Every structure is written in structure tokens, then in C-alpha cells.
Amino acid sequence: MAGAKAEGATEEVARDSAVVTVNGDAAARWLRPLSAVCLTIELPATHGLAPRALACEAVIRSVDRSGVGSRVELRIVSMEFRRYAE
């Protein structure tokens, strides 16, 4: 589903992996293992610095739909810091 978007919360993030909880049933329908996704993680602004985001390209490792929302484990392919426009 090209162009589909979902919002969620980041549980863990590392150089090569991430775990996020995605809200909503609509997202659960297109989140499937081995799907390529783009992930943007908003980073907290500190010490007067401009807000930044971590932009990642990733592949879904697994999706757990047993709780509230979907818990998605990702393998990070690439990442870069970007300025975040509020």
C-alpha cells in the first residue's frame, strides 16, 4: 500500500534495529513481515537546539497483533539525522 501512513510510539531504537507500537486497525492490515517501510522518529530538542528526526529505511521482521495496537520489530537498513519541521 504505497503512501500509507501510521503513527505510533518507539519502544527501542538501535543502529540496526527498532521496535515500535503502531496504533490503529488500518495500519495492521498493511504491516507485514518483509515489507519495506520508512520510519521517522522525532527526537527531543535539548539545550536550545532545533528539533531533529531520525529518518530510517527498514524492513519489517515481525508484527505482533496480540495487544493494543501492533508491536512491530524492524531491521534498519539505513538512517540519517534530519531537521524536523514542527
Reported as a single tens digit per residue, the pLDDT across 24-37 is 766 667 889 999 99
pLDDT tens column, 38-48:
999 998 877 77
Distances (CA, A) of 83 to 32, 41, 42, 44, 59: 29, 11, 10, 12, 23
* pTM, full prediction: 0.82
- Report CA 82 to chain centroid distance, whole Å: 15
Residues forming a β-bridge with 18: 13, 74
Q: Domain residue spans in the chain?
A: 8-83
